[in-house]
Amino acid sequence: MNTHRLSFPQVELDFMNRDHQEFAELREKLLERIATGTTAGIDVMLDELHAHTMRHFADEEKVMLETDFPVFAVHKGEHDSVLTDMAQRIAHWKQHGDIESLCHWLDHAVGDWLVAHIGSMDTVTARFAAAKLGS
Ligand SMILES: [Fe+2]
């Protein structure tokens, strides 16, 4: 079942491509679990997605700082707002158990955001950093 599979471009740094693929797979696994009609394991999977996203963003931000990426603040600002939203969505789910709202958020907002972010900020960041690092 690949109805939730995302299509996104590859960027010029391998570690970012690996993180994007892992993120997409965690989201897909969550949507597949939700589609089975069970809520078992969803809390753990959401915590895993949140922890992965924090680490994934921190790694990108480290490279941006190391290479003096000129619009670091803009890229980091988007990361910060995504993490805030993610934490609120997970907390809301844990408190209210609203599976429809969780599913809709993962399916639409998270998927759309990831594809748009990779195609814009991550592409530009990776191109800049790869040129500066000589990779
Ligand atoms: Fe990013």
Query: What is the three-state SS of the chain?
Result: CCCCCCCCCCCCCHHHHHHHHHHHHHHHHHHHHHHCCCCCCHHHHHHHHHHHHHHHHHHHHHHHHHCCCCCHHHHHHHHHHHHHHHHHHHHHHHHHCCHHHHHHHHHHHHHHHHHHHHHHHHHHHHHHHHHHHCC
Cα–ligand 1 centroid distance for 40 (angstroms): 30
- The count of other CB atoms within 10 Å of the CB of residue 73 is 11
* Structure confidence by residue, pLDDT tens digits, 73-87: 999 999 999 999 999
Cα–ligand 1 centroid distance for 48 (angstroms): 18
Q: Examine residue 126 and state whether it is found in any structural domain, yes or no.
A: yes
Q: Residues lining ligand 1 (ion), CB within 5 A?
A: 60, 122
Q: Examine residue 92 and state whether it is found in any structural domain, yes or no.
A: yes
Q: Examine residue 5 and state whether it is found in any structural domain, yes or no.
A: no
Cα–ligand 1 centroid distance for 38 (angstroms): 32
Q: Give the per-residue pLDDT at 3.
A: 72
Number of domains in the chain: 1
Q: Give the per-residue pLDDT at 135.
A: 54
Cα–ligand 1 centroid distance for 109 (angstroms): 16
Q: Examine residue 3 and state whether it is found in any structural domain, yes or no.
A: no
Domain with 33, as residue range(s), is: 14-133
Q: Examine residue 7 and state whether it is found in any structural domain, yes or no.
A: no
The enclosing domain of 57 has a CATH number of 1.20.120.50
Q: What is the pTM of this model?
A: 0.94
Q: Examine residue 2 and state whether it is found in any structural domain, yes or no.
A: no
Q: Examine residue 94 and state whether it is found in any structural domain, yes or no.
A: yes
Cα–ligand 1 centroid distance for 114 (angstroms): 9
Q: Give the per-residue pLDDT at 4.
A: 81
